[in-house]
Amino acid sequence: MELIDGNQIAATLVAELKAQVAAIPGRRPCLALVRVGEDAASVSYVKKKEKTAAEIGIESRIILPPVTIPQAELEKLIDDLNADPAVDGILVQSPLPKPLNEQAVFSRIAPQKDVDGFHTVNIGKIAQEDSTGFVACTPAGIMELLARSGTDLAGKHVVVLGRSLIVGKPVGLLALQKKAGANATVTFCHSGTRDLPSITRLADVLIAAIGRAEFVTGDMIKPDAVVIDVGINRVSDPSKKSGYKLVGDVHFDSVAPLATKITPVPGGVGPMTVCMLMKNTVKAWTLGRSSTA
Amino acid sequence: MELIDGNQIAATLVAELKAQVAAIPGRRPCLALVRVGEDAASVSYVKKKEKTAAEIGIESRIILPPVTIPQAELEKLIDDLNADPAVDGILVQSPLPKPLNEQAVFSRIAPQKDVDGFHTVNIGKIAQEDSTGFVACTPAGIMELLARSGTDLAGKHVVVLGRSLIVGKPVGLLALQKKAGANATVTFCHSGTRDLPSITRLADVLIAAIGRAEFVTGDMIKPDAVVIDVGINRVSDPSKKSGYKLVGDVHFDSVAPLATKITPVPGGVGPMTVCMLMKNTVKAWTLGRSSTA
The reply to whether A106 and A55 lie within a common domain is yes
Residue A217: CA count within 13 A, CB half-sphere: 3
3-state secondary structure of B120: helix
CATH number at residue B246: 3.40.50.720
Residues of A in contact with B126 (CB under 8 A): 127
- How much of chain B, in percent, has pLDDT values that exceed 90? 97
The count of other CB atoms within 10 Å of the CB of residue A79 is 13
The reply to whether B146 and B227 lie within a common domain is yes
Among A5, A88, A114, A116, the one annotated catalytic: A116
Q: How far apart are CA A212 and CA A96, in angstroms?
A: 24
The reply to whether B33 and B86 lie within a common domain is yes
State residue A199's pLDDT score. Answer: 98
The reply to whether A98 and A43 lie within a common domain is yes
The residues in A 205-244 lying below 8 A from B, measured between CB atoms, are none
Residues B113-139 have a mean pLDDT of 96
The reply to whether B106 and B155 lie within a common domain is no
Domain assignment of residue B43, yes or no: yes
- pLDDT at residue A142 tops 50: yes
State residue A293's pLDDT score. Answer: 46
Residues B203-214 have a mean pLDDT of 97
Residues of A in contact with B127 (CB under 8 A): 123-124, 126-127, 165, 169-170, 173
Query: Nearest 5 degrees, angle CA B233-CA B239-CA B240?
Result: 55
Interface contact B122, partner A, CB < 8 A? yes
Domain assignment of residue A156, yes or no: yes
- pLDDT at residue B290 tops 90: no
Question: How would you classify the pairing of strands A261-262 and A2-3?
Answer: parallel
State residue B293's pLDDT score. Answer: 46
Domain assignment of residue A172, yes or no: yes
Residues A180-198 have a mean pLDDT of 97
The reply to whether A147 and A266 lie within a common domain is yes
Domain assignment of residue B103, yes or no: yes
The reply to whether A84 and A159 lie within a common domain is no
Strand partners, B245: B235
Band (pLDDT 50/70/90 cuts) for residue B5 is very high
**Residue B129 in contact with residue B181, Cβ under 8 Å?**
no
- pLDDT at residue B122 tops 80: yes
The per-residue pLDDT for range B253-267, each reduced to its tens digit, is 999 999 999 999 999
Provide the domain limits for residue B103: 26-110
Q: Kindly report the pTM of this predicted structure.
A: 0.96
State residue A292's pLDDT score. Answer: 55
Strand partners, B2: B261
Band (pLDDT 50/70/90 cuts) for residue A289 is confident
What single string gives the DSSP state of each residue in A5-21?
A: -HHHHHHHHHHHHHHHH
The reply to whether A100 and A155 lie within a common domain is no
- pLDDT at residue B42 tops 50: yes
The count of structural domains within chain A is: 2
The reply to whether B67 and B177 lie within a common domain is no
Q: Chain centroid to CA A205: how far?
A: 18
3-state secondary structure of B234: strand
Q: How far apart are CA B118 and CA B106, in angstroms?
A: 7
- How much of chain B, in percent, has pLDDT values that exceed 70? 99
CATH number at residue B77: 3.40.50.10860
Q: How far apart are CA A267 and CA A5, in angstroms?
A: 6
**Residue B100 in contact with residue B41, Cβ under 8 Å?**
no
The reply to whether A74 and A179 lie within a common domain is no
What residues of B act catalytically? 49, 93, 116
Residues B214-240 have a mean pLDDT of 97
Interface contact B130, partner A, CB < 8 A? yes
B65 prior amide bond cis, ω within 30: no
3-state secondary structure of B3: strand
Interface contact B71, partner A, CB < 8 A? no
The reply to whether A70 and A196 lie within a common domain is no
b/e sequence A133-150, b meaning 16+ C-beta within 10 Å:
bbbbbbbbbbbbbbebbe
Q: Chain centroid to CA B58: how far?
A: 19
Residues A247-261 have a mean pLDDT of 98
State residue A93's pLDDT score. Answer: 96
Band (pLDDT 50/70/90 cuts) for residue B170 is very high
Domain assignment of residue A144, yes or no: yes
Domain assignment of residue B160, yes or no: yes
**Residue A170 in contact with residue A135, Cβ under 8 Å?**
yes
Cβ A121–B120 below 8 Å, yes or no? yes
Domain assignment of residue A13, yes or no: no
Q: What average pLDDT is seen over chain B?
A: 96
The residues in B 173-202 lying below 8 A from A, measured between CB atoms, are 173, 176, 178, 183-190, 192-194, 199
B276 burial level (CB within 10 Å; 0-12, 13-18, 19+): buried
The reply to whether B98 and B141 lie within a common domain is no
Smallest Cβ–Cβ distance between A125 and the set B120, B183, B187 belongs to: B120
Instruction: Name the closest residue on chain A to residue B170, using Cα atoms.
Output: A127
Band (pLDDT 50/70/90 cuts) for residue B292 is low
Smallest Cβ–Cβ distance between B128 and the set A165, A183, A187 belongs to: A165
Domain assignment of residue A282, yes or no: no
A257 prior amide bond cis, ω within 30: no
The per-residue pLDDT for range A145-172, each reduced to its tens digit, is 999 999 999 999 999 999 999 999 999 9
Reference B225, options B169, B175, B263; nearest CA is: B263
B98 vs A196, residue with greater confidence: A196
Q: How many CB pairs under 8 A join A and B?
A: 102
Interface contact B22, partner A, CB < 8 A? no
Asked whether this complex has an ipTM greater than 0.85, the answer is: yes
